[in-house]
Structure 1
Amino acid sequence: MDNVAFTRHTADEVSTLLDALCDAYADAYGEVPGEDGGVKSSAFRDRATAALEVRNYELVVARAGGEIVGFVFGYSLRPEREWWRGLKPEPPDGFTLETGDRTVVLAEIEVRRTWQGRGVGRGLHDAFLGGRAEERATLASNPAATATHAMYEGWGWTKVGTVPGRPGSYYPEYVRFVFPLPVQNLPR
């Protein structure tokens, strides 16, 4: 990882990076049997573009030799987003209360295939969360991605349950995870 540099970017800086982010995203996933890569990439571009409008958006990019080898982005969770709607099992009182400053959504974390397993993802994760002021982080995951779930849990995330996908969602349901902030809680 000595030759990997991490840089932070605001929403205003992303327009010049969006095509490269889409390329890195497509490479991170590669070809998945039974999936239409064009649909998945198009859905990513739509999500990435929509995220630019959300409060406290931030992107962290990992580069090696000038090439984007990975990235992570997220934003503050808006109360009207209904992120926790339908969460099962039922959470404790107050868990789903959102103020706009309580929780950061780690919306995407992607690493090119040739860079996976080399610490880039963890570096992106730590750099992104280390710059956040919220009290906790959350992310959503494909329920079938059990290896990814194990990785998140190894990084200190806690699975809190599942929520149904919204109309037009890529998956019919999503697993929700939380992570306590500030960053000194990061396990090593």
Structure 2
Amino acid sequence: MDQTKLKHHTDLKDVREHLIVAYTSVRGDLLHLPNYRVEAFTERLHRHGEDPGWEAVIAYTLDGQPIGYAYANTVEPGNRWWTRMDAPVPAEYTESASLAIKEIGVVPTWRGQGLAQAMHDDLLQHRQEDFVSLLVNPAAGDGKVQRLYEGWGYTRIGSQQPSPESPPLACLGRPVDQTGRR
């Protein structure tokens, strides 16, 4: 972590290429699958970047290479994030605006150093929403990725399949501030 720096961004056009470069490296072994193609990611990124409250945290090496990212946006009650769920989620998530983390990724050679959690925590640090959720493929890393998020305080609140090309995903959620200071 001493060899990296985190930067916040709220305008996609400023960091679009950095996110695509990092994504290509993060998901390199999956790019042959329809939902993981760079074109599919670019389309999602464009759509998410126009959503309210979009914010990204990008990890850079000291020489400026993007090596990880986390980005999210605000989702209001009734948003398709919620309407695609296979069952109703706990009401506190949909009573007011909440935060949806859309992507977290770390370049393989930088994994295992706490970078994903550092970006995640930095992203949540100044958010005004009370609750945050994210989607995870329960099969990713033989369940390791979901267990990682559970270690950050997330619990399963539902599931969905966002597109026909996507695998079924678990929706995990938690309070943004887990210290009770809000």
The secondary structure found in structure 1 opposite 2:30 is coil
Partner of 2:16: 18
Which residue, out of 24, 29, 32, partners 2:30?
32
Partner of 1:149: 146
User: Does structure 2 conserve the Cα–Cα contact (< 8 Å) formed by 1:129 and 1:183?
Assistant: no
Partner of 2:5: 5
User: Does structure 2 conserve the Cα–Cα contact (< 8 Å) formed by 1:162 and 1:176?
Assistant: yes
User: Does structure 1 conserve the Cα–Cα contact (< 8 Å) formed by 2:30 and 2:36?
Assistant: no
Partner of 1:70: 68
Cα distance in 2 for partners of 1:173, 1:49 equals 23
Q: State the shift of 1:132 in Å.
A: 0.9
How high is the TM-score relative to the length of structure 1? 0.83
The secondary structure found in structure 2 opposite 1:125 is helix
Alignment size in residue pairs: 177
Which residue, out of 57, 60, 70, partners 2:57?
60
Q: Percent identity?
A: 27
The secondary structure found in structure 2 opposite 1:148 is helix
User: Does structure 2 conserve the Cα–Cα contact (< 8 Å) formed by 1:111 and 1:121?
Assistant: yes
How high is the TM-score relative to the length of structure 2? 0.85
User: Does structure 2 conserve the Cα–Cα contact (< 8 Å) formed by 1:5 and 1:62?
Assistant: yes
Q: State the shift of 1:83 in Å.
A: 2.3
Q: State the shift of 1:143 in Å.
A: 3.2
Tell me which amino acid in the other structure corresponds to 1:76: T
Partner of 1:84: 82
In structure 1, list runs of 5 or more residues that go unmatched. Answer: none
Higher helix share: 2
Structure 1 residues 27 and 81: CA distance shift in structure 2, 3 A: same
Partner of 2:176: 181
Structure 1 residues 150 and 77: CA distance shift in structure 2, 3 A: same
Across the aligned residues of Structure 1 and Structure 2, the Cα RMSD in angstroms comes to 2.3
The secondary structure found in structure 2 opposite 1:79 is coil
Q: State the shift of 1:135 in Å.
A: 0.4
Structure 1 residues 79 and 38: CA distance shift in structure 2, 3 A: closer
Q: State the shift of 1:120 in Å.
A: 1.0
Cα distance in 2 for partners of 1:118, 1:96 equals 31
Cα distance in 1 for partners of 2:34, 2:111 equals 19
Paired residues for 1:106-125 under 5 Å: 106-125=101-120
Partner of 2:47: 50
Residue by residue, what CA displacement relative to the aligned partner does 1:60-118 show, whole Å, maximum 9, x if unpaired?
A: 111112111111111111223232336456545x345343x3x1001111111111111
The secondary structure found in structure 2 opposite 1:17 is helix
User: Does structure 1 conserve the Cα–Cα contact (< 8 Å) formed by 2:35 and 2:165?
Assistant: no
